[in-house]
Amino acid sequence: MITAVHNLVYSDDAAATRAFFRDVLQWPYVSDAGSTDDDAAGADAWLIFGTGPSEVGVHPTRGPEGSSWSAPRHHAMSLMCDDLQATMDELASRGGRFTTEPADHGYGLVVMMAIPGADDIQLYEPRHTTAYDR
């Protein structure tokens, strides 16, 4: 029986990325005493974060017949919120930085958020039916 989803973020500066998740996003975490990083000192350097409810969507790599839209196979992580502007304001007050302006993408209001040491992560206010509360 699957009990959870474990997301991975690969970072050029794992300590900075973990600090962002801990201090800006304020995600709860546990410390894995058996793991350490070359770039961080101490047994508690490896933090594993609780991300709350989750859901998985499967997107096609090609658009409908005749469409020029396509994307390579890949995995992506997005963060969801109930009120995009209020969430942006709260995160900015804790040092969060956004690399795009909010935009309506149809499925939701979307902004990209800078993650220290890693790629940007999409933050959005969904306008689609959600499954994370099922």
Query: What is the model's pTM?
Result: 0.83
CATH at 87 = 3.10.180.10
Question: Is 105 inside a domain boundary?
Answer: yes
- Residues 73, 16, 50: CA angle, nearest 5 degrees: 65
Residues in the chain: 134
Rounded to a whole number of angstroms, the CA Rg of the chain reads 17
Question: Is 58 inside a domain boundary?
Answer: no
Question: Is 48 inside a domain boundary?
Answer: yes
Question: Is 132 inside a domain boundary?
Answer: no
Question: Is 46 inside a domain boundary?
Answer: yes
Question: Is 22 inside a domain boundary?
Answer: yes
Structural domains of the chain, count: 1
d(CA 113, CA 53): 20
- Domain around 29: 14-53+75-126
Report pLDDT digits (tens) over 46-71: 899 999 999 999 988 998 888 888 88
pLDDT of residue 37: 58
pLDDT of residue 38: 52
pLDDT of residue 89: 98
Question: Is 67 inside a domain boundary?
Answer: no
Spell out the residues 6+ positions from residue 106 whose beta carbon is closer than 8 angstroms to its own.
127
